[in-house]
């Protein structure tokens, strides 16, 4: 039965673990009921940063709520994907996530109780490690040895071995004949990396006069390094859950209910999850009729056959958009500072060329390491470019990639992530319906 807290029905949830294994009874219930409930269009939504099931369910309920009125004649079913990711306490979804009653006091611990709990849930069995990381963030002891130890602890938390192979599901692009190795983000000098994050968080518009300029304390960027390495683990999981988990379930659904039209929707790393699900589809499955990415947190070159600056390198999902019997729509916003500044900086640090440290960030980051949720799909011939008003006037293309600038509505949110989670808007629900030709 649908969750009583859900705004729409019929609604099912699919829960996956970090290895992509699905909850069997939940999957079986979906496969058995979707035909019985006479569903014709099934919208499958994967959350991005999230701490628990209730938060994900609340997001789905809020996003899905306008759809029955927008498509009153359609026989729509809804699926919420639950997978192990985490949200730091300062990243709130406007309008429905709880807000902090007051800013934390100056002597508050760097890792508040909510974030600490989220880390424990996301990385089970790592409590002593998380406690040591928390203590170092509070003590802020200077010295190369202290930063080296902090970096070692963070690497151990996300289970990356320096010099070891990089899991395929963590890559957005692949170079021909070049093995994937652990990213500079987790192998470079920790003090330097923290310093760069501290400088990025300060931003270019600091009111301090030039003569009084001083480099920020690297510890000011240490929490951001922890955040970004945690997101590296979430990025890896998203690929695993998508290809090994959700893609297989959609394939099973194509067998048990071949007439059901599936529409995949993903926010942030959930966009990466549903994109990798395309690679997990069995051969010949054509039941996915649309994919809509909301502020997708992965490279804008993921679907490209060749990168403009390196013809040896292509996107890890190159050509996978052709497995959709419909369009791949990427909604993006210039107000998303998580993807506009912090994501490309972390992505640059995931590059293996350490000579890149110290480059002109403003001139280089957006082009080479940009996110699909910041400026849309890049280097895929034939990609259509629309603003939100144009997308809603329609009709949308029936195939290929479509970039939709959603800055008109995706615009609210404070630091450090800006409007990254400002996705609960009826206009975006209308984009999902338009992409899937659901009327």
Which residues, 6 or more positions from 92, have their beta carbon under 8 angstroms from its beta carbon?
Answer: 98, 99, 413, 421
Alpha carbons 394 and 329: distance in angstroms, whole number: 13
Alpha carbons 15 and 116: distance in angstroms, whole number: 23
Position 355 scores a pLDDT of 33
Helix (H, G, I), strand (E, B) or coil at 294: strand
User: Structure tokens of 87?
Assistant: 């949200």
Q: Are 436 and 290 in contact (CB under 8 A)?
A: yes
Alpha carbons 61 and 431: distance in angstroms, whole number: 17
User: Structure tokens of 119?
Assistant: 């880390």
Alpha-helix residue ranges (DSSP H) falling in 221-357: 222-240, 247-256, 269-279, 337, 343-349
Alpha carbons 61 and 70: distance in angstroms, whole number: 15
Alpha carbons 363 and 204: distance in angstroms, whole number: 13
CA torsion 59-63-69-71 (nearest 10°) is -120
Q: Are 420 and 268 in contact (CB under 8 A)?
A: yes
CA torsion 427-428-433-436 (nearest 10°) is 150
- Residue 329 DSSP label: E
313 - beta bridge partners? 175
Residue 376 region by backbone torsions, left for phi larger than 0, else alpha for psi between -120 and 50, else beta: left
Alpha carbons 433 and 172: distance in angstroms, whole number: 28
Position 133 scores a pLDDT of 94
Position 358 scores a pLDDT of 40
Per-residue pLDDT of the chain (439 residues; tens, 9 = 90+): 445 679 999 999 999 998 999 999 999 999 999 999 999 999 999 999 776 888 899 999 999 999 999 999 999 999 999 998 877 655 554 444 433 334 456 567 888 888 888 888 888 889 999 999 999 999 999 888 999 999 999 988 887 655 555 556 778 888 775 555 666 777 788 998 898 888 877 764 444 444 444 668 899 989 888 988 887 888 889 999 999 999 999 999 999 999 999 999 999 999 999 999 999 999 999 999 999 999 999 999 999 999 888 888 899 999 999 999 999 999 999 999 888 876 766 666 655 333 333 444 444 544 677 889 999 999 999 999 999 999 999 999 999 999 999 999 999 988 778 899 999 999 999 999 999 999 9
């Amino acid at each position: 039965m649908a969750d009583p807290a859900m705004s729409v029905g019929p609604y099912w949830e699919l829960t996956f673990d970090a290895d992509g294994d699905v909850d069997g009874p939940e999957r079986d219930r979906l496969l058995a009921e979707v035909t019985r409930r006479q569903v014709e269009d099934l919208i499958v939504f994967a959350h991005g940063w999230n701490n628990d099931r209730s938060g994900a369910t609340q997001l789905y309920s809020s996003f899905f709520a306008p759809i029955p009125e927008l498509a009153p004649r359609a026989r729509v079913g809804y699926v919420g994907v639950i997978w192990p990711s985490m949200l730091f306490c300062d990243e709130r979804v406007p309008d429905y996530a709880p807000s902090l009653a007051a800013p934390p006091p100056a002597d508050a611990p760097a890792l508040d109780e909510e974030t600490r709990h989220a880390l424990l849930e996301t990385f089970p069995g790592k409590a002593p490690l998380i406690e040591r990381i928390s203590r170092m963030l509070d003590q802020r002891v200077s010295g190369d040895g202290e930063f080296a130890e902090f970096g070692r602890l963070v690497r151990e938390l996300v289970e990356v071995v320096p010099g070891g192979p990089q899991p395929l599901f963590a890559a957005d692009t692949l170079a021909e004949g070049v093995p994937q190795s652990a990213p500079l983000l987790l192998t470079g000098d920790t003090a330097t990396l923290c310093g760069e994050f501290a400088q990025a968080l300060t931003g270019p518009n600091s009111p301090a006069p030039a003569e009084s300029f001083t480099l920020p304390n690297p510890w000011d960027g240490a929490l951001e390094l922890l955040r970004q390495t945690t997101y590296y683990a979430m990025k890896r999981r998203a690929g695993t859950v998508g290809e090994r988990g959700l893609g297989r379930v959609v394939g099973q659904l194509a067998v048990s209910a071949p007439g059901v039209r599936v529409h995949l929707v993903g926010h942030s790393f959930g966009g990466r999850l549903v994109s990798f699900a395309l690679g997990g589809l069995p051969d010949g499955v054509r039941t996915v009729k649309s994919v809509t990415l909301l502020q997708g947190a992965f490279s804008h070159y993921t679907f490209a056959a060749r990168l403009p600056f390196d013809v040896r390198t292509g996107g890890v999902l190159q050509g996978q958009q052709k497995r959709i019997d419909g369009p791949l729509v990427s909604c993006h916003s210039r107000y998303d500072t998580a993807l506009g500044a912090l994501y490309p900086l972390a992505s640059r640090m995931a590059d293996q060329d350490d000579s890149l440290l110290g480059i002109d960030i403003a001139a280089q980051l957006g082009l080479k390491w940009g996110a699909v949720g910041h400026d849309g799909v890049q280097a895929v011939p034939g990609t259509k470019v629309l603003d939100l008003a144009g997308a809603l006037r329609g009709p949308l293309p029936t195939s290929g990639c479509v970039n939709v600038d959603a800055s008109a509505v995706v615009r609210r949110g404070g630091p450090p992530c800006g409007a990254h989670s400002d996705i609960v808007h009826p206009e975006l629900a209308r984009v999902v319906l338009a992409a899937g030709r659901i009327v």
